[in-house]
Structure 1
Amino acid sequence: MNFHFNPRYFLPVIAVMVMSVAIACSGGSDDSTSGAFLARGEDSSEEFGFGAPEPAHLAPGRFSGGAAPAATAAPAAVFETESLKQSAGDADGGSNLISVDSVNVGSGGGSASVEAEIAAATDGRVIVRTADLGIKVESVIESLDDISKTAVAAGGWVVSSVQSRRFQGSISIRVPADRFDDVIEQLTILAVEVDFVTTRSEDFTEEFTDVTARSQTLHDTLEALRLLYDRAFSVKDAITIQKEITSIQSDLESLEARLKFLSQSSAFSFISVSLESVPIDLAIDAGEDITAAVGHPVTYRAKFIPPEEMEEFVVTWNFGDGSREQSTDRIAPTGDGDEVITAPIVHFFDRDEDSPFIVTVELSGFGDGGVAEGNATLVTTVSRLPVIEVFAGENQTIEAGSKVELNASFTRPEGVSELAYSWNFGDGSAPIEGNLGDSEEAAQVDAIHTYRNFRSDPYFVTLTITGQTDVGEVEVSGSLLVFVRETIGVAAAELDAGSTVRDAGRTLQSVGVFLAQGGLWLLILSPAWLIGGVIVFVLVRRRKAIRLPRRSAE
């Protein structure tokens, strides 16, 4: 195959080569970061409120010159050092942080000389300032309107405004950079309470300069390609050059969009404000102070009257002993007007060393009527229950129908009153109960009970002693076993016709059983008796036979 060099293609080839070298050189600086900035330049404009009509003095044109437009320089503003907090509407990236320190809300600026130095240092630089505010206001609806009017009066506009609920909302605005501090001060004046104010200042001068230079290079390359396109000798050459023009045109538009975003961001600062209604004070009754015992359950409930148009409530109890807080959102009417009572919360105290404990209840309510908050405290005194030792007596064995005497004793510690006892005999009969009073000598309990029926298993007898203390009721039990054996013979402890007949019957039954058992044994042993009789008979006969010859001899 033969190749022939055509002089007509010499100039286009050289131009394309020069263009490629120029693009490679211009894109070499900070290529990794600038590519990311280009990718987000167009997407960030609408998010930060640049979809609105821009002022006439900021209308961007073709950046044909090497210098940045005058509108991109940041105004000589006073940079307050404030706490760093990422704005919800801030752009991604941005690594050149100017000032990040903490400051109290409402503090004044520095001296005039410091302000002048800062202004001189930032003059001509591309500084982007953003702020986040959290405030509480009387009315969210009215405050959103006031903030919107403040932004317009300062020469800015509202980026977005959201009111998710009647007592909650948010708004984002853009204001001229030279009015940034004034607008923040006006917003804090509108608030009843300022939760936080956070600002950020980022220097994009280096990026802006780099993007401007690259934009100019691409612009010049684009003009050269257009000249080559006009001088193309063939359709193939024209198509090749057009592809290059399209690619460079796309890169140039991305760079110009990023320049536009940086210019507007430095000229108009972004402020995001979160608003909440001031909570309504709500009275809550946590109840009277409580005395409790270690390891015993303590129940807490609170009462309150809910405000109008509030349906959701959360009640949180803190028991003051380091345990985990407990919450409930269940309430029920008490029947006393509009008053409601919360669901019971049960807690166990495991120690009394730090008693008394301060128990706190906090109530939060919200609804169409706004937000309500309330709290109350009560004192819980925790101590250990006195110990009562009970001795119910020794185990006993009796015959059926006999009476058993029970003698029990117990200790009576100090602080226990209203003592009472209860005997449970374990045979299904009604328990015997009684009060011992407050006498210190009353430390013994006796009882008499008759067990009528024989049972192979013992009866389980229980004595329960109860008493009242300052921290609640104490209850202790003691027990013994009563063995009831079957009665054999006549029990004539008392002259009772029914008992006598029953005992006689039992006696006859016993005699009959004895005779029957004797006859049964005789029957069983009859072979032995028969053999024994035969042996005795043989021995007697033999003895007689021996004696007869002796008598004859004599």
Structure 2
Amino acid sequence: MKSAGTKAVLVALLAALTLSGCAGGSDEGASQGADAPAKAQSLPQEGASAMLDSDGGAGRSGRRAPTAENVKVAPGARAVVYTATLKVRATNVDESAGRAKQLVLAAGGYIATESSGAGRTDLTFKIPSDRYAVTLDELTRRLGRRLSLGQQAEDVTEEVADVESRVRSAEAALVSFRKLLDRADTVGEVINVEQEIASRQAELESLQARQKSLAHRTRYATVTLELVGPVAPVVEEVADDDRGGFLGGLERGWNGLVAVVSGVLVAAGLLLPFLVPAALIAWVAGRVRRTLRSRRERRTAEVSAG
């Protein structure tokens, strides 16, 4: 009898929870109120939400979790994320990099990343927001000649307020769900509550990680510094053809003679392998020609004598 009564209470309070939209902490509950009975039958986790309502949660009171729209932000308490990109030409890159580190550390900041090579150094600094403007001015003036500077400011006050309200709501929901474990009558209700607790715990951890990231971004400004060395002077070489007068002509003539002799020697080197067999063939041909000539002369002499 107690179990049947508990289930009836769960279904009724589930409908009230869905209509009020407290489970998500947003304004979507009003547009989805007509689907509450169907969700009560299809989602077992909603049974745990109904039990939360019966325990005096947001479903019974009809109040919604605070959001960025209804959270009041105190004047002057804006949360702003500052970023800057600075490029400086330094006479000595290593010395300027060391001076930049000293300025940032003195301001209470730290070095996030550093890389160097080929006459340049790239540094990423995290500087406390209240010291950001002063430190950036010192970096601009005391490292060398400024080549470029870009700054950005992003107001994340509403995002910070929204995340904080969601964290508080998630923490309160987890406390209530853990109390409900002692009130669960059946194994199914225990499983539903444990599943809801696991889901809300994961959501809370995600929100806390986001809250921590926002807190760090608003507490420290990010400055990316690029240090480059001086530009190497360009030395113009005097071409040989630009020299005039007697010495210029003598030099060009000598260079021409050397080029001709070099060409002849190269040609001789190319023809030498072919000259030896050609000379041998010419010598054999000459011997054959002289032999034939002597034979013809003897025959002519014999004919004349006969």
- For this structure pair, what is the TM-score category when the shorter chain's length is used for normalisation? 0.5 to 0.7
Whichever structure has more helix as a proportion of its residues is: 2
1:141 aligns with 2:94: yes
* Deviation of 1:246 (Å): 1.2
* Deviation of 1:200 (Å): 0.3
* Deviation of 1:252 (Å): 1.6
Q: Gapped runs of 5+ residues in structure 2? A: 30-64, 243-306
1:217 aligns with 2:215: no
In 2, distance between residues paired with 1:122 and 1:274? 36
In 2, distance between residues paired with 1:271 and 1:16? 51
1:123 aligns with 2:121: no
Partner of 2:277: none
Partner of 2:212: 260
In 2, distance between residues paired with 1:207 and 1:268? 17
Tell me the amino acid that sits aligned with residue 267 of structure 1.
R
In 1, distance between residues paired with 2:212 and 2:27? 19
For 1:161, which of 114, 119, 128 is the aligned residue?
114
- Counterpart of 1:214 in 2: which secondary structure? helix
Taking a change above 3 Å as real, the CA distance of residues 10 and 167 of structure 1, as seen in their structure-2 partners, is same
- Counterpart of 1:281 in 2: which secondary structure? coil
1:229 aligns with 2:227: no
Taking a change above 3 Å as real, the CA distance of residues 222 and 27 of structure 1, as seen in their structure-2 partners, is farther
In 1, distance between residues paired with 2:147 and 2:7? 71
For 2:138, which of 186, 197, 201 is the aligned residue?
186
Q: Kindly provide the CA deviation profile for residues 168-223 of structure 1, in whole angstroms up to 9, marking residues without a partner as x.
A: 12010111111111111111123322111110011111212222222222222222
1:23 aligns with 2:13: no
Taking a change above 3 Å as real, the CA distance of residues 160 and 237 of structure 1, as seen in their structure-2 partners, is same
In 2, distance between residues paired with 1:67 and 1:266? 20
Whichever structure has more strand as a proportion of its residues is: 1
Taking only the aligned residue pairs, the percentage that are identical comes to 25
Partner of 1:501: none
Q: Kindly provide the CA deviation profile for residues 333-355 of structure 1, in whole angstroms up to 9, marking residues without a partner as x.
A: xxxxxxxxxxxxxxxxxxxxxxx
- Detail structure 1 runs of 4+ shifted over 4 Å in the superposition: 10-20, 65-68, 286-290
Provide the aligned length of Structure 1 versus Structure 2: 201
* Deviation of 1:24 (Å): 3.3
- Counterpart of 2:77 in 1: which secondary structure? coil
Tell me the amino acid that sits aligned with residue 138 of structure 1.
T
Tell me the amino acid that sits aligned with residue 105 of structure 2.
V
In 2, distance between residues paired with 1:279 and 1:139? 12
The answer to whether the 8 A contact 1:211-1:259 is kept is yes
1:177 aligns with 2:129: yes
- Counterpart of 1:280 in 2: which secondary structure? coil
Equivalence map 1:61-460=2 (5 Å): 123-163=76-116, 165-285=117-237, 287=239
In 2, distance between residues paired with 1:192 and 1:168? 13
In 2, distance between residues paired with 1:185 and 1:279? 24
In 1, distance between residues paired with 2:89 and 2:221? 23
The answer to whether the 8 A contact 1:134-1:275 is kept is yes
Q: Kindly provide the CA deviation profile for residues 321-341 of structure 1, in whole angstroms up to 9, marking residues without a partner as x.
A: xxxxxxxxxxxxxxxxxxxxx
Taking a change above 3 Å as real, the CA distance of residues 6 and 197 of structure 1, as seen in their structure-2 partners, is same
The answer to whether the 8 A contact 2:89-2:227 is kept is yes
In 2, distance between residues paired with 1:149 and 1:162? 17
Taking a change above 3 Å as real, the CA distance of residues 157 and 285 of structure 1, as seen in their structure-2 partners, is same
Q: Kindly provide the CA deviation profile for residues 285-338 of structure 1, in whole angstroms up to 9, marking residues without a partner as x.
A: 365999xxxxxxxxxxxxxxxxxxxxxxxxxxxxxxxxxxxxxxxxxxxxxxxx
Q: Kindly provide the CA deviation profile for residues 88-114 of structure 1, in whole angstroms up to 9, marking residues without a partner as x.
A: xxxxxxxxxxxxxxxxxxxxxxxxxxx
Taking a change above 3 Å as real, the CA distance of residues 17 and 224 of structure 1, as seen in their structure-2 partners, is farther
- Counterpart of 1:284 in 2: which secondary structure? coil
The answer to whether the 8 A contact 2:90-2:229 is kept is yes
In 2, distance between residues paired with 1:66 and 1:155? 35
In 2, distance between residues paired with 1:289 and 1:123? 74
In 2, distance between residues paired with 1:17 and 1:286? 92
In 2, distance between residues paired with 1:212 and 1:135? 40
The answer to whether the 8 A contact 1:66-1:216 is kept is no
Tell me the amino acid that sits aligned with residue 125 of structure 1.
R
In 1, distance between residues paired with 2:190 and 2:3? 19
Q: Gapped runs of 5+ residues in structure 1? A: 30-64, 74-120, 291-554
The answer to whether the 8 A contact 2:96-2:144 is kept is no
In 2, distance between residues paired with 1:237 and 1:193? 70
The answer to whether the 8 A contact 1:22-1:217 is kept is no
Q: Kindly provide the CA deviation profile for residues 251-274 of structure 1, in whole angstroms up to 9, marking residues without a partner as x.
A: 122222222222221121111111
Tell me the amino acid that sits aligned with residue 7 of structure 1.
G
In 2, distance between residues paired with 1:206 and 1:265? 14
- Counterpart of 2:23 in 1: which secondary structure? helix
Taking a change above 3 Å as real, the CA distance of residues 15 and 226 of structure 1, as seen in their structure-2 partners, is farther
- Which structure exhibits the higher relative contact order, with contacts defined as CA atoms closer than 8 Å and separated by 6 or more residues? 2
Tell me the amino acid that sits aligned with residue 26 of structure 2.
S
Tell me the amino acid that sits aligned with residue 232 of structure 1.
A
In 2, distance between residues paired with 1:177 and 1:279? 34
Q: Kindly provide the CA deviation profile for residues 497-526 of structure 1, in whole angstroms up to 9, marking residues without a partner as x.
A: xxxxxxxxxxxxxxxxxxxxxxxxxxxxxx
Partner of 2:6: 8
The answer to whether the 8 A contact 1:27-1:214 is kept is no
Tell me the amino acid that sits aligned with residue 245 of structure 1.
I
